[in-house]
Amino acid sequence: MKPKVTENEQYLSASNRITGVVVMVIGLAGLVDIVVEWRTLGGLLVAALIGILMIVAYVGLVRPSVTLRPDGLMIRNHIRDHHVPWHRIEDVDVTDILRVHTSTGKIRCPGVQLVMKDLRKQRVGGRKLGADNSISRADFVVDRIDNHRERYAKTAEGEITTTWAKPELIAVAVLAVVAVVAQFLR
Structure confidence by residue, pLDDT tens digits, 115-166: 665 555 555 655 555 555 556 778 888 889 999 999 998 888 999 999 999 9
**pLDDT for the residue 174:** 97
Verify that 120 and 58 share a domain, yes or no: no
**pLDDT for the residue 113:** 80
Verify that 88 and 124 share a domain, yes or no: yes
Between 34 and 131, the higher pLDDT residue = 34
Verify that 89 and 150 share a domain, yes or no: yes
**What single string gives the DSSP state of each residue in 41-93?**
HHHHHHHHHHHHHHHHHIIIIIS-EEEEETTEEEEE-SSEEEEE-GGGEEEEE
Give a yes or no: residue 152 inside a domain: yes
Give a yes or no: residue 2 inside a domain: no
Structural domain that includes position 25: 10-62+166-185
Verify that 94 and 112 share a domain, yes or no: yes
* Helix, strand, coil % in the chain, rounded to nearest 5: 50, 25, 25
Measured distance CA(91)–CA(89) in Å, rounded: 6
Is the separation of the CB atoms in 97 and 114 below 8 Å? yes
Verify that 159 and 74 share a domain, yes or no: yes
Verify that 81 and 110 share a domain, yes or no: yes
Verify that 47 and 119 share a domain, yes or no: no
Q: What is the pLDDT of residues 71-102, one digit of tens each?
A: 999 999 999 999 999 999 999 988 888 999 99
**pLDDT for the residue 5:** 47
Verify that 79 and 136 share a domain, yes or no: yes
**Number of compact structural domains in the chain:** 2
Residue 114 has pLDDT above 80, yes or no: no
Verify that 155 and 172 share a domain, yes or no: no
Using a cut of 0.85, tell me whether the model's pTM lies above it: no
Residue 2 has pLDDT above 50, yes or no: no
- Model confidence at 177, pLDDT cuts 50, 70, 90, reads very high
**pLDDT for the residue 14:** 84
97 SS3 class = strand
Verify that 52 and 82 share a domain, yes or no: no
**pLDDT for the residue 95:** 82
Looking at residues 158-181, what average pLDDT do you find?
95
Q: How many CB atoms lie within 10 A of CB 5?
A: 5
Give a yes or no: residue 4 inside a domain: no
Give a yes or no: residue 1 inside a domain: no
**DSSP for residue 38:** -
Give a yes or no: residue 3 inside a domain: no
Verify that 159 and 170 share a domain, yes or no: no
Verify that 130 and 43 share a domain, yes or no: no
Give a yes or no: residue 122 inside a domain: yes
